[in-house]
Structure 1
């Protein structure tokens, strides 16, 4: 999928997810299934969404010892999802194991899911990085280092703020995928996000894909909100 607008299905259960989808365009969409929905509904939610022809980013951010992550990724690959992720902070060996697990678990005759690594959450700022996580380096330096580490482990890309995309493309190449949450319209509440940009700005900065949740799912008219953000993301406004 080229430069997707990924809708975050951050809802409580399958019923809410399906109700939301029924109010969106009747076409193949890029959707993110996160912890809340997956932990509630289990693998069945993936099957239900795939039956409707949608592309799925399963956002579970695995972070554990290499063997555990490898075995977990083998199970996730069997679900037929299109994109999965880990925390880069788990290290090179863990990320390599994740990739091996995906290859081992994928259905015969299909490609492995794309694998990306979380650099730093978009809710993280310099103060949190230094005083809570005890990482002394500047945030931008940390993201740069994590992106290079992810690439060296064979990952397809990273999750990052759109603000960091130009730097990552400079050091890892433009073919290295950059999936950017923290997307808000100008009028939207920031919520718990810190490093945010508009869809237009993400496009200008070169994001491969954007993840949009509350700006669509919490809108009075999710269909209209989706259309507006899609136009902005495609540069049609």
Structure 2
């Protein structure tokens, strides 16, 4: 009997994350400049390989990757899509689950960590042909999912500080959608919204009239 010496190939399983935040009330996504093969010196979404010895799920892989590569803990993480095939990664047959995550702007300062030369925040629009692997496609899918949820009425409170004004909330929604919203229509839409909790006696004071502050309700779900 002849014993085959052909090495069995198992799929490479990874998690890749589109981490969104607001900088000067514009939506930005975090990119990393790769340090190692494959695609060294190319910009990509932060991602990493599933480690069965460390991760009990791909969600844990995604959280671990963000912590190790860019030094952040995120408030919200959601699966977007899964892609697979023999040619998307030169190391072999691979499966990647794409996520998006949301981070408040004040937590943006992050440092490049393991396997990363540099990090950068940029507009998530029109990057499909500029990123390593198929990460441009994954980013476009993540952005589409985020926008869909906000169009359907979900409030992106995870992009805001713990205390915020209704103007802050409208600007966050506008940044995600890439369009201006009518103030009156927006206020009517969120009137009596159970996700928002008014903070009695708490105001943001400035050159204009004081603006009432709100926070997310304890049971808020995006």
TM-score of the two chains, using structure 2 as the length reference: 0.25
Higher strand proportion: 2
Give the TM-score normalised by structure 1: 0.24
Larger radius of gyration: 2
Higher fraction of helix? 1
